[in-house]
Structure 1
Amino acid sequence: MKLYIYEHCPFCVMTKMIFVLKNYPVETVYLLYDDVQTPMQMVGRKLLPILEYKPNRFMSESVDIIHYMDRNIGEPQVILPVVDEVGQWVKEVERFIYRLTYPRWIRAPFPEFSSEEAKKYFYKSKDPSGRGFMSDLADPALLQRAQRAIDRLENILVDYPLIDLTQPISISSLSLFAQLHSLSIIKGLQYGPIIDKWRQSTAKTFFIPLNDEFAN
């Protein structure tokens, strides 16, 4: 199998996690952000992740890929989406997180932005109005909103277990790590001990480093 992804993409992070959970080898392929032709030929749209699960057979959408792997490789281990505090928190953060991450992702050493053409395409596709998303980089209101969300999560995770690969895992846990992975690109956010232990443990378990190293 081949998994086509972007390094920054939270949905791609989730799909990488399922292969570790299943202990199943996959070839990871990073596309440049301005590579429109490759995903169009595969699934008719420019989006990632895309899984080539059989020669010239492709599947998109992170949840579909996760469910496919869970159904077809080993015993089912992923608990289907439920309405819980963690899932609600993730959806709340999704409403504003991209305004903070767009201007940071483009400055990070991710393979999808390794050419000037790829960076220009990202700017154009994420800012068609020309307003300039770089203006959100240091927006104090947005940064405070992110910090308040993290502070609330500290209480939510008090009784939330660390991930154990021998036990069933909620899809909420996968999406939670994906969002914390995105948040880690934002320099200056303060994590309480419960969140920090959970995110660091999950990063180690799934061999997916956080973005703390190039937070900006």
Structure 2
Amino acid sequence: MKLYIYEHCPFCVMAKMIFVLKNYPVETVYLLYDDVQTPMHMVGRKALPVLEYKPNRFMSESIDIIHYIDQSIGEPQVTLPIVDEIAQWVKEVERFIYRLAYPRWIRAPFPEFSSDEAKKYFYKSKDPSGRGFMSDLADPALLQRAQKAIDKLENILVDYPLIDRTKPISISSLSLFSQLHSLSIIKGLNYGNIVDRWRKNTAENFFISLNDEFAN
């Protein structure tokens, strides 16, 4: 199998996690962000992740990929119900995270932005009005909103278990980590002991590095 992804994409992070959970090898392929032709050929639109699960047979949407791999390989492990409190937290974060993430992702050493053309395409696609999303880089209101979300999560995770890949896992855990992975690109956020332990433990268990080292 081949998994086509972007390094920055939270949905791609979720798709990577299912293969680690199932201990199943997959070839990871990073596309340049301005590569429109490849995903269009595979699934008829520019969207990742895309899984080539059989020769010239493709599947998009992270949830569909997770469900397919979970049901096809070994015993199902993504069996626990959605945790409403965490699902709501993720939904709230999704309302503002991209405004903070766009200007940071484009400056990070991700393979999808390794050419000037790819960066230009990202700018154009994410800022068609020309407003300039770089202005959100240091927006105090957005940064305060992100910090409040992290502080709120500290209380939510008090009784939430750390990841154990030998036990069933909720889709909420995969979704939560994908958003914490996105938040980790933002320099200066303060994580409480519970949240910091949970995100680092999950990163270690799934062999997916957080963005702390090049947060900006």
TM-score, normalization: structure 1?
0.99
1:127-181: CA deviation from partner (whole Å, max 9, x where unpaired): 0000000000000000000000000000000000001111110000000000000
Instruction: Give secondary structure in 2 for the equivalent of 1:52.
Output: strand
Separation in 1 of the partners of 2:140 and 2:56?
Answer: 47
**Distance in structure 1 (CA, Å) of the matches to 2:55 and 2:19:** 18
How far the C-alpha of 1:84 sits from its partner, in A, is 1.1
**How far off is 1:79 after superposition?**
2.6
Match of 2:4 in 1: 4
State the Cα RMSD in Å.
0.7
Q: Which residue identity lines up with residue 139 of structure 1 in the other structure?
A: D
Indicate the larger mover: 51-60 or 82-91. 82-91
**Matched-pair contact (CA < 8 Å) for 2:5–2:30:** yes
The one-letter amino acid of 1:140's match is P
Q: Which amino acid aligns with 1:119?
A: K
Q: Helix, strand or coil: the match of 2:167?
A: coil
2:158 counterpart SS class: helix
For 1:6-62, what per-residue CA distance to the aligned partner results, in whole angstroms no more than 9, with x for missing partners? 000000000000000000000000000000000000000000000000000000000
Change (3 A) 1:81 1:6: farther
Per-residue CA distance 1:165-202 (angstroms, 9 max, x = gap): 11110000000000000000000000000000000000
- The one-letter amino acid paired with 2:122 is F
Cα shift at 1:82: 2.6
Residues 53-72 of structure 1: matches in 2 within 5 Å?
53-72=53-72
Residue 50 of structure 1 aligns to which amino acid in structure 2?
V
Any stretches of 5+ residues in structure 1 without a counterpart? none
User: Which ranges of structure 2 fall in alignment gaps of 5 or more residues?
Assistant: none
Equivalence for 1:45: 45
One-letter amino acid of the structure 1 residue matched with residue 113 of structure 2: F
